[in-house]
Amino acid sequence: MHPIRKQRLQLVILLVVASTVVVGLIAYMLGQNANYFYTPAQIASGEAPKGVYIRAGGMVIDGSVERSAESLAVQFEVSDGISNLLVQYSGILPDLFAEGEAAIASGVLDENQVLQATEVLAKHDEKYTPPEVADAMNQAYKLKQESAQ
Amino acid sequence: MGSGRDWTWFHRLGSPRWFYETTGRWLPLLWAVTLALLVVGLVWGLLYAPQDAKQGNSFRIIYLHVPVSFLALAGYYIMAIAGAVGLIWKMKLSYMVMKSAAPLGAALTFLALFTGAVWGKPTWGTYWVWDARITSMLILLFLYLGVLALQYAFHSQDTGNKASAMLALVGTVNIPIIYKSVDWWYTLHQPATIKLTSAPSMHPDMFKPLLVMILAMYCFYALVLILNTRVEILQRERKTGWVRDLARQADTGPDNQ
């Protein structure tokens, strides 16, 4: 390769490496500070600030969803496997919101460690299955549980 | 490296006229393959693939969303590498490819964001969240638009080419960030369904049409990139003899050669 071209190739590589290092360091610093997301365990241990807008989430606990008969008010508990967090919300829940699925609530923590949410989003996992296959898997799971008893 | 290694083949590859004439012969075949794959993939995915147990039919947007997102990312590397080749070897054709990749990449990135928003509303409950995946995709859109804008920001084409190539190269940092964002940060966007190291977490009946659509999108990308580059060649080489000859032939009527 011509020496001038070789020098230009080195400059191009230097440009890419240098910008990668700079952006990497910035992202690393931001990652330490910009954690608006808290797990139920972090909230239980008092890590999350009160009266400030935060995001929290986890699995919606089976049987914890209570809907009001007169209004859109709803409350449910989410868990990260360590602690539980009670969420109160008034509004329409997304289609994929369900017990046993992941949900993310945004809002403000009150004195009783209850999250007063202004927005509830459902988190979808990366798995896709046809309904028949999902039914068959559920049935197989039930049969296995029954035979274990 | 400095020894008598012969690079003339590489420089011949960079001739706009050679590119124009060679791709002209490939185009009919590429058109046929692209259209066939697109029709098969879309009909199979949208009509015959089973629906998802939780999302119902709304999951079918994956057959557009995932292929356009793939090419939005892969196309950025094509643009950046073309820019690097232009900077190092001063190859005119390479800069033309870089410029042609910019609007195409911007359109694909916009489509990825748009189809994601349409799917996000019923699934997540919102069109938009500022999570790491979606925000880094928005930055990708601005990078593509920036590379395109720099092409028009200077009087001299050469300065514009160099500036565009620099921005394209610096922006490559963003691609691994987009790809790994769902693993590095807590995002609302789910992690990847299709992984290099393990089987896809998707039923084969749903996955096969997706593979066809990804292949179709690669062909579509190649086709549009070649068409864009051919227009760019004619525009930038308009003063050369062979382009004038082409124009003269087109004026005097079709000439079957």
pLDDT, tens digit (0-9, with 9 covering 90-100), for A83-113:
899 999 998 888 888 888 889 898 998 888 8
Indicate the number of domains in chain B: 1
| CA distance from start to end of chain A | 74
A54 neighbors A109 (Cβ within 8 angstroms): yes
How confident is the model over B203-234, as pLDDT tens digits?
Answer: 899 999 999 999 999 999 999 999 999 999 99
Per DSSP, helices labelled H in A34-149 are 40-44, 131-148
Task: Give me the residues of chain B with pLDDT under 70, please.
Answer: 1-5, 253-257
Rounded Cα distance between B49 and A88, Å, is: 39
CB B201 to CB A127 under 8 A?
Answer: yes
Contacts of B257 (CB under 8 A, 6+ apart): none
| A66 inside domain | yes
Tell me the whole-structure pTM to 2 decimals: 0.85
- Alpha helices (H) in B44-91, listed in sequence order: 62-89
Q: Cβ–Cβ of A122/B7 closer than 8 Å? A: no
The domain that contains A106 carries what CATH number? 2.40.50.140
Residues from chain B contacting residue A92 (CB–CB below 8 Å): 125
Query: Which residues partner with A108 through β-bridges?
Result: A53, A116
Asked if B203 and A15 come within 8 Å (Cβ–Cβ), the reply is no
Whose CA is closest to B94, among B15, B7, B160? B15
The verdict on A64 and A116 lying in the same domain is: yes
B7 vs A1, A16, A130: nearest CB: A1
**Which residue type sits at A9?**
L
How close A59 gets to chain B, by Cα (Å)?
Answer: 14
The amino acid at residue B167 is L
Domain ranges, residue B231? 20-191+206-244
Residues whose CB falls within 8 Å of the CB of residue B108, separated by 6 or more in sequence, listed in order = B68, B69, B71, B72, B75, B221
Q: Are residues A29 and A90 in the same domain?
A: no
**What are A120-145's pLDDT values in tens digits?**
998 888 888 888 778 877 787 777 77
For B191, the closest of A31, A121, A126 (CB atoms) is A126
In this structure, the answer to whether residues A83 and A26 fall within a common structural domain is no
Q: What is the dihedral of CA B228, B234, B236, B237, to 10 degrees?
A: 150
> Residues A30, A41: one domain?
no
Quick one: A41 and A104 in the same domain? Answer: yes
Q: What one-letter code names the amino acid at B104?
A: L
A13-44 b/e (C-beta count within 10 Å ≥ 16 → b): eebbeebeeeeeeebeeeeeeeeebbbbbbbb
Q: Chain B interface residues facing chain A, Cβ-Cβ under 8 Å?
A: 1-2, 5, 7, 50-55, 59, 62, 84, 87-89, 122-126, 129, 166, 169-170, 172-174, 177, 184-186, 188, 190-193, 201-203, 205-206
- Is residue A23 domain-shared with residue A5, that is, in the same domain? yes
B170 CB neighbours in chain A (<8 A) are: 15-16, 19
The domain containing residue A111 runs over which residues? Answer: 37-123
Is B255 inside any structural domain? no
